[in-house]
Structure 1
């Protein structure tokens, strides 16, 4: 038997080839955020130039410098905290209700053919039809208080999460189900110990979509029926032609959206690392 001889050059090439994907991932980790910041900076610079040169009227379109001053003033004066807390509380309650309802319901529907056939058309309709068209009826049913806003947030957030959970439950690997049958696991045990962990990537992907839609629902509800919250501030300041203050409130909404999205993405990366193929 002869031993295989490896030359130093082939070893170096193998090591370089092994570390190349790691280097590319590390480069992408810093390059993508940098490019994103650069894109935002280009848009803001173009907006500022248009406002400064008179291409657009700052009285109606505001400007980055004016919006930034209004944003700083809102934080230093404390005017932003009350509407910010109102919006976040509505989003939190809506997401809590959506998660508690959608995850077990989606697992049940996804693992039952009859329930899936019965509910799939209804879920598709409720997801596809804009909830804004139901606002007049929701106002009649729930009024214009916090309850109505929570209903709109739940409507916005629940269906994308529900659809993702159902898709995950319907795409379970047969080997997982065979193991549960071998151990004579009940349906409830199978859902809890097999279906739920296996569908966790789908669940977190649905939560990521639901968070964004929940924030949109909260802002829309505050625009139409709110007396508090960031959406109400945008509507009030815009109607009074205080565009700098309105853009400052919109900037706060954008910051919240980015933080929520990246927060859920971080959880998704940490909790479902085993499901990635790269």
Structure 2
């Protein structure tokens, strides 16, 4: 029943994608709209292919994904340490709550001037922006997961004479896995947006810059087809990671083990 429902949902999504593509193509070809404002799907596809085969788009996409992976890994490790610290001490718990209340609603791009002063305009600045974007949703979700672990699980762990470290890993962290995955999903979406914006502001970071720099260059040279191509790549990468990577992780862990948010 669930499989049939999911299949229908996928078909509906595909249907609406085709409808939007048809409207786009009709508007570009017979709608009287200039190609500088709205290029045809064929022109965008050609620009996308040329940028991958003969341009730097493949490297720029790799660069952006590499940097965002580094930032999210740092954010995950930092969130786990802070969440465990908050469980051990009332003082640390208060500190984590204050930091989360300050940092979570603060846009990463608002910190750009300060980050430039602290880290310059290299990779470290981009990573700092990603860590700021990713840390707070992961920390808040993980902290909620720790608080939701039933006390009886912890009592059983103590009765089995598990060490505090074993209780933290085997019980708290594993029981909070659905919360952690949800936090990482939110963190990726926030980090992906912040990364693109930061690359546009900073310019060509690294050897040839990232996907944000690619989009900025297309706008500078009024290459609207290339601009749309870059935007489509950003959308596709976000969808693929959201729908394939995270769904696969959930199927292999949370759903396979019969876990859900407590």
Per the normalisation by structure 1, the TM-score is 0.85
Q: Is the counterpart of residue 255 in structure 1 residue 232 in structure 2?
A: no
RMSD: 1.8
- Once residues 185 and 112 of structure 2 are traced to their aligned partners in structure 1, the CA distance between those partners, rounded to angstroms, is 25
What is the aligned partner in structure 1 of residue 198 from structure 2? 221
- Relative to structure 1, the CA distance from residue 62 to residue 82 in structure 2 (aligned partners, 3 Å threshold; closer, same or farther) is same
Counterpart contact for 1:205–1:268, Cα < 8 Å? no
Query: How far off its partner does 1:108 sit?
Result: 2.8
- Once residues 132 and 231 of structure 2 are traced to their aligned partners in structure 1, the CA distance between those partners, rounded to angstroms, is 23
What is the aligned partner in structure 2 of residue 11 from structure 1? none
- Once residues 173 and 56 of structure 1 are traced to their aligned partners in structure 2, the CA distance between those partners, rounded to angstroms, is 60
Query: How far off its partner does 1:237 sit?
Result: 0.6
Query: How far off its partner does 1:149 sit?
Result: 0.7
Of 233, 248, 252, which residue of structure 1 is paired with 2:214? 233
Task: Please say which structure displays the higher CA radius of gyration.
Answer: 1
Query: How far off its partner does 1:166 sit?
Result: 0.6
- Once residues 123 and 214 of structure 2 are traced to their aligned partners in structure 1, the CA distance between those partners, rounded to angstroms, is 16
Query: How far off its partner does 1:78 sit?
Result: 4.8
What is the aligned partner in structure 2 of residue 268 from structure 1? 250
Query: How far off its partner does 1:177 sit?
Result: 1.3
Residue deviations 1:227-247, cap 9 Å, x none? 011100101111211010111
Query: How far off its partner does 1:272 sit?
Result: 0.8
What is the aligned partner in structure 2 of residue 57 from structure 1? 34
Flag structure 1 segments of 5+ consecutive residues without an equivalent: 1-23
Query: How far off its partner does 1:77 sit?
Result: 2.1
Post-superposition, which runs of at least 4 consecutive aligned residues in structure 1 deviate over 6 A?
Answer: none
What is the aligned partner in structure 2 of residue 188 from structure 1? 165
Query: How far off its partner does 1:276 sit?
Result: 4.3
Query: How far off its partner does 1:258 sit?
Result: 1.3
What is the aligned partner in structure 2 of residue 27 from structure 1? 4
- Once residues 50 and 113 of structure 2 are traced to their aligned partners in structure 1, the CA distance between those partners, rounded to angstroms, is 36
Of 137, 140, 155, which residue of structure 2 is paired with 1:160? 137
Residue deviations 1:199-239, cap 9 Å, x none? 11111111122222222222111111030111001011112
Counterpart contact for 2:79–2:138, Cα < 8 Å? yes
- Relative to structure 1, the CA distance from residue 107 to residue 55 in structure 2 (aligned partners, 3 Å threshold; closer, same or farther) is farther
Counterpart contact for 1:111–1:169, Cα < 8 Å? no
Counterpart contact for 2:57–2:214, Cα < 8 Å? no
- Once residues 127 and 139 of structure 2 are traced to their aligned partners in structure 1, the CA distance between those partners, rounded to angstroms, is 17
Counterpart contact for 1:208–1:265, Cα < 8 Å? no
- Once residues 219 and 130 of structure 2 are traced to their aligned partners in structure 1, the CA distance between those partners, rounded to angstroms, is 23
What is the aligned partner in structure 2 of residue 199 from structure 1? 176
Flag structure 2 segments of 5+ consecutive residues without an equivalent: none
What is the aligned partner in structure 1 of residue 78 from structure 2? 101
What is the aligned partner in structure 2 of residue 21 from structure 1? none
Moved more, 246-255 or 61-70: 61-70
Counterpart contact for 1:165–1:203, Cα < 8 Å? yes
